[in-house]
Amino acid sequence: MSSIMETVKGMLAKQLDMAEKDIKPESTVLSLGADSLDSVEFIMRIENAFNIEIQEEEIKQFRTVQNIVDYVSKSKN
């Protein structure tokens, strides 16, 4: 598992008060129980943790945990 995946899963687990092992790459943030406020806070944490800026229109592609990890990987390279 990539360090980005581990970080994203850890952040989601903390945000949603759940176990990391219950978060799969194919999980959607909504299926994990996130509401719109959770999603906004999570995006802000991603930006801070990885020192990236995520444009609002790009957030729509964040359907799964893997989509988020892929986006962060591309943004950092």
How is residue 28 written in tokens? 């959607």
Could you confirm whether 17 is annotated as catalytic? Answer: no
Q: Which amino acid is at 37?
A: L
Q: Which of helix, strand or coil describes residue 47?
A: helix
**Three-point CA angle 13, 64, 8, nearest 5°:** 35
CA distance 45 to 43: 5
Task: Give the active site residues.
Answer: 35
